[in-house]
């Protein structure tokens, strides 16, 4: 017994499979690019700490460039 396939059915199936692969690839690409954003550091000024000693003993970084600032380099972009 021979099974006959209609050319339109094969075309529709091919389009659906390709669309699925493109959809999955775009989702994975979006996840990879967004995870790189969240894994990088984003320093934040801690305004309530204005003394170098208090800043450094709390595990943060003191910067004296343009103005004296206490920086926290462990700030999450998700926050």
Distance, C-alpha 37 to centroid of its chain: 4
- pLDDT, tens digit only, all 79 positions of the chain: 677 778 888 899 999 999 999 999 999 888 777 655 556 667 889 999 999 999 999 999 999 887 889 999 886 666 5
Q: What is the pTM of this model?
A: 0.45
Buried b (16+ CB within 10 A) or exposed e, 41-57: eeebebeebeeeeebee
Query: Where do the structural domains in the chain lie, given as residue ranges?
Result: 1-40, 41-79
């Amino acid at each position: 017994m021979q099974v006959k396939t209609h050319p339109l059915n094969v075309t529709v199936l091919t389009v659906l499979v390709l669309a699925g692969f493109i959809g999955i690839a775009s989702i994975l690409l979006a996840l990879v690019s967004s995870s790189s954003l969240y894994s990088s550091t984003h320093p934040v000024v801690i305004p309530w700490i204005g003394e170098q000693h208090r800043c450094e003993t709390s595990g943060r970084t003191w910067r004296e460039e343009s103005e004296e600032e206490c920086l926290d380099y462990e700030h999450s972009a998700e926050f």
